[in-house]
Amino acid sequence: MKHLINIESLTTDDIIQIYNRACEFEKGIRKSNHINAHVATMFFENSTRTKMSFEMAANKIHANMYDFCANTSSLNKGEDIFDTINNLTAIGMNAVILRHSDDLLVNNLANRRFYQEISFINAGSGATAHPTQALLDFYTIKKHFLDLNQKTITFVGDVAHSRVAKSNIVLLKKFGMNLRVLAPENFQGAHIEGVKYYTSLPEAFEGSDIIMALRIQRERIQEYIDFDYYINNFQITKENLPYAAFLMHPGPVNRDIEIRSDVLELQNARTILNQAKNGVYVRMAILDLVLASQGL
């Protein structure tokens, strides 16, 4: 695994390999030492979970981590991002963890030839892909349910602008899950084959094993958003959340918009922080495999 760009390029065996390796890291039965590896985070969009858990993961496998700060870099003097990364390879960087609003940038970069070999890990590209989030969500779900076949997950909210939902749908479809979307029509996005779409919360939640709420991506939406309509019809509350539902959210949560605040105190919502915790083990596994592909 030289790069991790999207879920489409992973087989189910690849995904299980990442899952198993993450399990071993969590149990403490695998130790890795990548002391000769140099990894840069390049985040052009805000992040808490992804960036910090990659940093934690790199520390735990003894890789050297560097934070590229776009605002103080020579990108501000007009340098092209390809030239910037090419110089990072010359300095000795072996991998870049990239988050960018451009849907295609990380894919395009992974297909370029650089001064020295370099791996790319997609930490979120536009509204298209967030593969490491989908892998940690898979890890969280599989640890709980073991067999995912015919389990039903409902994504609630702004699927149209959610890279998390899109990567999750591709991944969970590979494992035979039933996929539902509950959202107002303007948040449903282009309909995906094999996914059932709902505008009625009770209908969508009936028979759902997992409910994954999504943040409304205000930064990607130009049009007026009717929050009152959304809250009245799609907000997850104590009253409408099925008793046994496994409640997930990739974060950040906008309290009292997609989920009512008091729901976050329920046992169901502990999953949300478990997702963040599991992100460390899954990102350890991803970094471990990517760095090993370069013999580091």
Q: What is the DSSP letter of 153?
A: E
Q: Burial code of 57-71, b = ≥16 C-beta within 10 A, e = fewer?
A: bbebbebbbbebeee
Tell me the window of 41-49, 85-93, 145-153, 254-262 that interacts with ligand CP (CB under 6 A). Answer: 41-49
- Which one, 195 or 276, has the nearer CB to ligand CP? 276
Residue 242 engages ligand CP in binding (rule: CB under 6 A) = no
Report the residue from 9, 12, 20, 48 that binds ligand CP according to the rule CB under 6 A.
Answer: 48
- CA 208, CA 154: separation in Å to the nearest integer? 6
- Which one, 4 or 296, has the nearer CB to ligand CP? 4
Pick out residues in 96-135 that bind ligand CP (CB under 6 A).
124, 133
Residue 252 engages ligand CP in binding (rule: CB under 6 A) = yes
| Degrees, nearest 5: CA angle 42-128-284 | 50
Residue 47 engages ligand CP in binding (rule: CB under 6 A) = yes
- CA 107, CA 38: separation in Å to the nearest integer? 21
Residues 202/143, Cβ–Cβ less than 8 Å = no
- CA 267, CA 244: separation in Å to the nearest integer? 10
Residue 274 engages ligand CP in binding (rule: CB under 6 A) = no
Residue 50 engages ligand CP in binding (rule: CB under 6 A) = yes
Structure token digits, residue 212: 């994954």
Minimum CB–partner distance for residue 133 and ligand CP (Å): 5
Which residues sit at the interface with ligand CP, rule CB under 6 A? 47-51, 124, 133, 250-252
